[in-house]
């Protein structure tokens, strides 16, 4: 089975940010996303803020270029003022052409 090598970007953020984030992901080039409800807890050494509560876990399968744009966007727009998690992994995707 031929799979296409792409990137899987996972974001975890407060639920309140979902409505803002989703259209931004579209503008950055994401062709789709999968959202699961989550609860998170993490202590930021930088801001000494504790974060506990309802969150969303947003997954985007995309090209390396779009992944780069999403991570940059998260960093520049959200990481200073919100507790958020953003990470990227390699994946092999069935019918991956449609994510391009």
- Are 72 and 88 in contact by the 8 Å Cβ rule? The answer is no
| DSSP H or E segment with residue 71 | helix 64-77
Q: How far is the CB of 30 from its own copies (least distance, A)?
A: 9
Q: Whose CA is closest to 17, among 35, 30, 32?
A: 35
Radius of gyration of the CA atoms of the chain, in A? 14
Dihedral angle over CA of 71, 73, 78, 79, nearest 10: 40
6, two tokens: 């792409």
Q: How far is the CB of 36 from its own copies (least distance, A)?
A: 5
The residues of the shown chain that bind its own copies, judged by CB under 8 A, are 1, 3, 6, 8, 12, 22, 31-46, 51, 55, 57, 61, 68, 71-72, 74-75, 79, 85-95, 98
Q: How far is the CB of 100 from its own copies (least distance, A)?
A: 9
Q: How far is the CB of 78 from its own copies (least distance, A)?
A: 10
């Amino acid at each position: 089975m031929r799979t296409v090598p792409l990137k899987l970007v996972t974001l975890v953020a407060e639920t309140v940010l979902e409505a803002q984030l989703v259209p931004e992901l579209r503008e950055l080039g994401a062709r789709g996303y999968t959202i699961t409800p989550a609860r998170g807890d993490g202590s930021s050494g930088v801001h000494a803020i504790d974060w506990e509560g309802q969150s969303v876990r947003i997954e985007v399968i995309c090209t390396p270029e779009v992944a780069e744009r999403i991570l940059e966007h998260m960093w520049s727009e959200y990481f200073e003022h919100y507790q958020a998690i953003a990470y990227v992994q390699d994946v092999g995707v069935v019918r991956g052409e449609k994510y391009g």
